[in-house]
Chains A and B, each alone.
Chain A
Amino acid sequence: MLMASCSKNSTPSPIVDPPTYSVPTTYNFSNANFADATTRLGMYTEISNLMKNALTGTFDATKAKAMLTNTGAPFATAAYNTSNIQLADQFSSGFKADVNNFIDSLAKASNAYPTAASRGVAGVGVSNANAATIYAETSLGLNYAQVFNKGLMGGLVTYQIVTTMDAIANQTIDNKTVVNGETAMEHAWDMAFGYWGVPIDFPTNKTGAKLWGSYSTQVDAGYHANQILMDAFLKGRAAISAKDNATFVAQAKIIITTMERLTGAAALQEVQETKAAISDPVVRNSRMSEMYGFVYSLKYNPKRVITDAQYNALLALFPAKTFWDLTLDQVNAIRDAVANQYGFNDVKDIL
């Protein structure tokens, strides 16, 4: 009811052509199935916890890599071990090439414990504002747990969503034959929704939102991606089932555009986080690593609008030698470039 009172898109306007159908207000399609996407996000959470909790020289890079390929029953959740699915074969080729380096870099910093992270010295650093905030950082000040995290958001989640949406926009996925209760196109769409990582009654309910599901909320004050994405996912899925081709193609394109802009918005949000920690070097470096991770991950998006030249120019704005030598002007230059690229000039300081 609330949804109807304020969302512009979800109220079905009279459809001109034969297909008449209603768009639900939650992702409760009777034949929806995105369990595999949910399982993969769960696998990611275990890797993330391994990274977060391994700040005393015990980070097990071999185990983290085994988790990526689901080799040797590495997960605490037994069902993951026997799921016959894995993360790594869903990665974009670019992320697949980078991911082991990210993990090894983190291990190098983490295993330097108890050496404290400082300029030129890899180790584990403590916030000067809150002793409970601890990060493993390389000698250049990069927290690769964050670069990995943001890389996975780009190289798995965005990559899967965008690739699927592109195929659906081009109608190269079958929408006739029903297998296991749904067509291939319905299932592909469901998986994309599952990768977003939100509950089916999002954004009314935000419980358990993960990765992009969490970030789309974090930037929502300046960029209302929550509603844009939820509306598009609901409308598109209803349209697929109703064979309303024009509508699901349009929604798929909205999602493609939104995923890239959302990455820009998330980078801007990290600009604010970096500034909030500006006098706290270890934390500042970690926030910068998040920002860098988002920007770097843009290249994993096969449908990105940003050109290679623009992408390289953006990366070149980060401190050339080490994050320890960051200046405010550099942070602002990154902010301005991202805001320009993605049309966020009006909201660049409030995302």
Chain B
Amino acid sequence: MKKIAFLVLIAASTFTLIQSCSKSGNSTPDKNNGSSFDRGAMLTNISTNIILPGYTAYQADAVTLDAAVTTFNTTPNAINLTAAQNAFIATYKAWQSVSMYEFGPAAAIQLQVNTNTFPASVDVINANITSGTYNPALLSNLPAKGLPALDYLLFGTGADNTAILAQYTTDSQAAHRKTYLATLTTEVKTNATTVLNQWTASYKTTFASNTGTDAGSSTSLLVNQLIYDYENLKNYEIGVPAGVQTSGQALPAKVQAYYSKISLALAKLHLQAVQNLYMGASGQGLDDYLVFVKAQYNGGSLNDAITAQFATSLAKLNGLTDPLSANIISNQAAVTATYTELQKLTVLLKTDMTSSLGILITFGDNDGD
């Protein structure tokens, strides 16, 4: 329950009392002869060239997936199953580029947990199929919906595609299962569409015009969610399955995309998406902001340190193999070593970057007390 909220300003000598007096970060300390970094330009670049294209691609893939499932349900055969599976993989990959924008329209409908709560609960999924009732609003259904549930339904209901197909044709629950499958892909599509439309219609402007750095400003939301989502990647896609929270006891079934076996591919895309956001693609990003405020790290540039750690982390991921769940069993040490490098990047982003930019971490750690 303890909320970890810390504010560290670049002028570390002005200590804690600032927290209670400084309301807006508009006066972010810059050491650049009084001029200030153009956050509006950075936000516009990020929304125009990263966020909107990301949502557009993801929504298009979600539409394709829903259509592929409709086709499959009408004509459940091997070809249509493969088409639905491929559409699912494309959607899951596209999701990796948009999962970090959990503010504004996405936060309003809790897109992240509605789309990607994993591991899926096979028990809850099967109970919903058997009962033929499903209330998407119940939070208890989070592990029975979204992409992880589809991962199970499309890849995990049988040992191979022949067995999976039987679940949708000859199995006693085939009709219910098809209905549930379609309900879930429609929900994924609807949520994606809702968020994309709100960004396009108005939030793009709201986002680009809220240029402060205080809690609730666009830069603060972006940085907070980048870090929050990055920690999800580090913890839930890599760390927890590798056993870092369970004294080394591996939990390989907890990986993202356990059944479709694309966990590592997704983790790489996810890390690249976080890095792309950090860099502002080829335009103004957080890297430029850090350079502007001359953020230092161990006598060098903080941006250089972060860039190097992104590269090291990706290299570690590249040294692993899919299925990640099998790799965890065959070479747990390599996966744990990857986690260690990812953790180093957390510190750089969460402590050094936020303190250099005067951004308050506003999300709580669920350490409980």
Contacts and interface: CB of A to CB of B under 8 A. Distances in A.
Interface of A: 2-3, 6-7, 52, 119, 127, 129-133, 135, 146, 203-204, 206, 214, 218, 220-222, 224, 226-227, 269-270, 272-273, 275-281, 283-284, 286-287, 290, 324-329, 347, 349-350
B17 A278 contact: no
Given A279-B113, A279-B142, A280-B366, A287 B19 contact: no
A316 B15 CA distance: 43
Contact of A52 (B113, B364, B367, B369): B369
Interface in B87-133: 107, 109-110, 113, 117
A226 B360 CA distance: 17
Contacts, number: 108
Contacts of B109: 328
Interface in B119-154: 137-140, 142-143
A109 to B, nearest CB: 16
Interface string B266-304: 000000000000000000000000000000000000000
A131 B369 CA distance: 14
A227 B216 contact: no
7 contacts: A119-B140, A203-B17, A272-B363, A273-B3, A276-B366, A284-B139, A328-B137
B319 interface: no
Contacts of A220: 5, 19-20
Given A6-B22, A227-B21, A278-B110, 19 more contacts: A2-B17, A6-B18, A7-B21, A52-B369, A127-B366, A129-B235, A129-B366, A133-B366, A203-B16, A206-B16, A221-B5, A221-B215, A221-B362, A276-B363, A277-B366, A286-B1, A287-B1, A328-B139, A349-B107
B202 interface: no
Nearest to A214: B2
A52 to B, nearest CB: 7
Given A273-B3, A275-B110, A224 B117 contact: no
Interface in B66-105: none
A227 B20 contact: yes
Given A203-B16, A326-B139, A350 B216 contact: yes
A270 B2 CA distance: 10
B307 to A, nearest CB: 29
A266 B362 CA distance: 14
Contacts of A131: 245-246
A283 B366 contact: yes
A221 B362 CA distance: 8
A156 B204 CA distance: 48
Contacts of A328: 109-110, 137, 139
Dominant secondary structure at the B interface: loop
**A224, A275, A328 — most chain B CB neighbours (10 Å):** A328
Nearest to B103: A349
Contacts of A279: 113, 117, 139, 142-143
B34 interface: no
A327 B138 contact: yes
Interface string B16-35: 11111110000000000000
A226 B20 contact: yes
B368 A283 contact: yes
A325 B20 contact: no
A232 B235 CA distance: 44
Contact of A273 (B18, B113, B246, B364): B364
B113 A130 contact: no
B14 interface: yes
Contacts of A206: 16
Contact of A281 (B15, B140, B363, B368): B140
Interface in B323-369: 360, 362-364, 366-369
Nearest to B361: A221
**B1, B22, B142 — most chain A CB neighbours (10 Å):** B1
A350 B363 contact: no
Nearest to A6: B21
A327 B16 contact: no
A328 B140 CA distance: 11
Given A131-B245, A222-B215, A328-B110, A281 B20 contact: no
Interface string B233-251: 0011000100001100000
Contacts of B368: 127, 130, 133, 135, 283, 286
A290 B142 contact: no
Contacts of A324: 140
A269 B113 contact: no
B137 to A, nearest CB: 4
A130 B19 contact: no
Given A277-B366, A279-B113, A325 B360 contact: no
A132 B142 CA distance: 22
A6 B14 CA distance: 12
Given A221-B215, A286-B368, A327 B137 contact: yes
A329 B21 CA distance: 34
Given A6-B21, A206-B16, A273 B1 contact: yes
